[in-house]
Amino acid sequence: MIDLELTDAQQNVRSMLNWFAKTEMRPIALEADRTGVVPLPFLKKTMDLGLAGGAMGDMQAPEEGKPEKKGPKGANRIAVIGSEELAWGDAALILTFPGPGLGGPPVTYTGTPEQKERAFKVFREDRENPHWGAYALTEPGAGSDVANISTTCRKDGDHYILNGRKCYITNGARADWNVVFATLDKTQGRAAHRAFLVFKDAPGFSVGKIEDKLGLRASETAELVLEDCRVHKNDLLGGEERYTSASKEGFRTAMKTFDNTRPLVAAMAVGIARAAYEICRDWVKENYDLKRPIPRYHLIAEKLANMEREIHAARLLCWKAAWMGDLDIPNSREASVSKSYSAEVGQRVTTQAIEIMGYEGTYHHRMVEKLFRDVKVFDIFEGTGQIQRIVISRRILQGLTR
């Protein structure tokens, strides 16, 4: 049975990250949103506190003959708790935290010991300067439809030649390496998918445009270009022996990443919703006496109650998906449920906050306007809301419980 009570360690993490969000993130959030620049001292503070973005384990390749070390007990629960608290501070700044980012999980789960060593070495050995990893899956014609990727790869001796374009890649331009997904033969569908560890100095790899976005403006979102990009066969994620002619290992690598990261993204949407709700609630307290028998005041009070209720429900869905992940229980359905619902809650709550506050809610310094812009993408990346509902419905119609 799921335990919803936080341990002392989890509560301590929550308190510490709330303090960091309040004292280090909120003060620079609006300026970073306006300029798109994140101060280097802030990035170094995240490194000093160990707030690296993405899964790295202990950033050590396991010793030969010894089992690989696993993360702390309840690591997924801690991760969703942390995601909510930090997103309450500023969601865009979370995405700038140095570390492997979304590229971390596929390397951790499917990479060979040598690949993990190569990928994570820079984070372990250079603690003075920020470094990033990234996850390059999305393409102009293949976002939510992962099976439709068109970036190609072909074997050429000891190398693979990659050609294609990736778009909307978080930290892709400044990353030391990207996990890049490509296909050997598009007609073979998912069985032909391959994942590669592509370092920034790979011949034929370059950065295209940096996106000018509606929200999360402090976060870098890049286009990546692969033109006859040569990648050694040793950088085929998991090694060639992991793939067979009938294998869907590349596609499974992408999906496994989503099962583990969707609850984190959902928790970030919860954090944004909570921030908007609290700002709105405090503003109402300062400007209205809701105890007075005025119909409009009653409607405001009812909206606030509904906002809080939905935030609590979304949080519990995230916690359940994380709890299942901690117990290695398949959680694809629960991950999609938490992601789709939390994104919807985030949009509703930020919209209602502006409706209640009126023109005050549109002022940039109030931050609600920024939260309204930031939360929209949470219904898009990591699989759109429509895709999440397809995943959920398929599980229901197939009679699957997970």
Interacting residues of 369 by C-beta distance below 8 A, sequence separation 6+: 354, 361, 362, 363
Q: Which two tokens stand for residue 307?
A: 């906002």
pLDDT in the model for residue 218: 97
Q: Which two tokens stand for residue 319?
A: 């916690």
- Tell me how far apart the alpha carbons of residues 336 and 356 are, in angstroms, rounded to a whole number: 30
Region of 74 please: left (phi>0), alpha (psi -120 to 50) or beta.
left
pLDDT classification of 20: cutoffs 50, 70, 90: very high
Mean pLDDT of 126-149: 88
- Tell me how far apart the alpha carbons of residues 186 and 142 are, in angstroms, rounded to a whole number: 12
The CATH number given to 250-397 is: 1.20.140.10
Q: Is residue 304 predicted with pLDDT exceeding 90?
A: yes
CB-based contact 214:373 (threshold 8 Å): yes
Q: Is residue 401 predicted with pLDDT exceeding 90?
A: no
pLDDT in the model for residue 74: 81
Q: Is residue 72 predicted with pLDDT exceeding 70?
A: no
Average pLDDT, the chain: 89
- Tell me how far apart the alpha carbons of residues 141 and 354 are, in angstroms, rounded to a whole number: 34
Q: Three-class SS of residue 329?
A: coil
Q: How many residues does the chain have?
A: 402
- Tell me how far apart the alpha carbons of residues 288 and 277 are, in angstroms, rounded to a whole number: 16
Mean pLDDT of 59-78: 57
Region of 309 please: left (phi>0), alpha (psi -120 to 50) or beta.
alpha
SS3 string of 45-60?
HHHHCCCCCECCCCCC
Q: Is residue 261 predicted with pLDDT exceeding 90?
A: no
Mean pLDDT of 295-310: 93
The letter for the amino acid at 110 is T
Mean pLDDT of 341-356: 98
* Lowest-confidence pick of 11-15, 259-263, 322-326, 343-347: 259-263
Q: Which residue has the tokens 């360690």?
A: 9
pLDDT in the model for residue 384: 87
pLDDT in the model for residue 229: 98
Catalytic residue ranges: 382
Q: Is residue 383 predicted with pLDDT exceeding 50?
A: yes
Percent of the chain with pLDDT over 90: 70
pLDDT classification of 145: cutoffs 50, 70, 90: confident
Exposure b/e, 77-114, CB count within 10 A at least 16 = b: bbbbbbbbbbbbbbbbbbbbbbbbbbbbbbbbebbbee
Region of 215 please: left (phi>0), alpha (psi -120 to 50) or beta.
beta
Task: State how far the alpha carbon of 2 is from the alpha carbons of 5, 77, 97, 250, 309, in Å.
Answer: 9, 11, 31, 32, 20
pTM exceeds 0.85, yes or no: yes
Interacting residues of 145 by C-beta distance below 8 A, sequence separation 6+: none
Q: Of 373, 394, 400, which Cα lies nearest the Cα of 90?
A: 373
pLDDT classification of 246: cutoffs 50, 70, 90: low
pLDDT classification of 251: cutoffs 50, 70, 90: low
- Tell me how far apart the alpha carbons of residues 372 and 346 are, in angstroms, rounded to a whole number: 8
pLDDT classification of 57: cutoffs 50, 70, 90: very low
What would the pLDDT profile of 80-122 be if each residue is shown by its tens digit? 999 999 999 999 999 999 999 989 988 988 899 999 999 999 9
Query: Please, where are the H alpha helices in 152-294?
Result: 249-287
Q: Of 323, 362, 319, which Cα lies nearest the Cα of 342?
A: 319
pLDDT in the model for residue 61: 40
pLDDT in the model for residue 69: 46
DSSP letter, residue 201: T
What would the pLDDT profile of 203-236 be if each residue is shown by its tens digit? 999 999 999 999 999 999 999 999 999 999 999 9
Task: State how far the alpha carbon of 387 is from the alpha carbons of 144, 296, 325, 379, 390, in Å.
Answer: 7, 38, 21, 10, 5
Q: Which residue has the higher pLDDT, 182 or 64?
A: 182
- Tell me how far apart the alpha carbons of residues 140 and 167 are, in angstroms, rounded to a whole number: 6
Taking the mean position of all CA atoms in its chain, how far away is CA 342? Answer: 13
